[in-house]
Chain A
């Protein structure tokens, strides 16, 4: 039975996955709009490159579609599953990139004072991205999921297949490293006020 898009948005991921496996295009659309933006954001923060982040997002969603026929309700959350796949795909890309493309790492912002709040916010976001790019991969995943995606530590632990204590440690080290990287530009970026 074909259901309108609005009605499908009320359904759980498990139900939508079953419908997708049966070829329900509207279920796929709901799943895409529910999860793909968050996967894209994670990939963008991990990779610092929009095109690569889109490639990762498409690949992660394709793997979700392929898993639909064997999806077991209640066993895993689609969001957790997708974050795990996406972070692994990003890690693979970063490892391939390592040592080859140092020039591709975005330069920190030059510190020129911004005239209005929007430019200031853009500068702050760019500075944070540059700082994130310098973090070890697992710290980066943990920080992005916690502070940009708003996940709790237990869910991050599920995504990263590790313990909550390990996540707390990764976050603490990640925050310290970020604070140190941002420190020289903190005044100019208006981060102290």
Chain B
């Protein structure tokens, strides 16, 4: 009903179509400046979500500052090795040191180590022969 009342004549319709066609041809192009501004906005809109989207707790920041999981794993390995050396590995090293000191030699550390290794072997041979 409304559309019948608002109907326009075929002549008016043709005139309107010509005006619409002219307007379609006159559509403004997207300028380079506007495109650049839109793309800058796109970068800024995506960036905060990655950078400051969720507040980082202070301890996590400290942890990351110290090197994170890789650094933590290395520290744990070093600590374990230190404890193992402290309890189990220190005696042989001390034995080697004693041998080096008792031998009175001023040879290289490699020589001292070799002597220390064979010292026990020599004693065993003497006992067997005796």
Contact = CB atoms under 8 A, between A and B. Distances in A.
Contact of A182 (B2, B16, B24): B16
A89 interface: no
Interface in A117-165: 120-122, 124-125, 127-129, 131, 147-148
A40 interface: yes
Given A36-B30, A62-B41, A179-B8, 9 more contacts: A22-B46, A28-B39, A29-B39, A36-B35, A57-B30, A58-B41, A148-B23, A169-B3, A191-B16
Describe B's contact surface by its main secondary structure: helix
B34 A175 contact: no
B15 interface: yes
Given A25-B42, A191-B18, A45 B23 contact: yes
Interface of B: 2-3, 6-8, 11-16, 18-20, 22-31, 34-35, 37-39, 41-43, 45-47, 49-50
Describe A's contact surface by its main secondary structure: helix
Interface residues of A, number: 52
A34 to B, nearest CB: 11
A191 B19 contact: yes
14 contacts: A21-B46, A29-B35, A33-B35, A36-B34, A37-B29, A50-B28, A61-B42, A62-B38, A65-B42, A124-B18, A124-B23, A148-B24, A172-B2, A182-B19
A12 interface: no
Contacts of A61: 38, 41-42
B38 A58 contact: yes
A122 B34 contact: no
A147 B23 CA distance: 10
Contacts, number: 133
A146 B47 CA distance: 37
Interface string A96-129: 0000000000000000000000001110110111
B39 A127 contact: no
Nearest to B20: A147
A20 interface: yes
A57 B34 contact: yes
Contacts of A192: 11, 14-15
Given A20-B42, A28-B39, A122-B26, A58 B34 contact: yes
Nearest to B2: A169
Contacts of B16: 147, 175, 178-179, 182, 191
Contacts of B20: 128, 147-148
A32 interface: yes
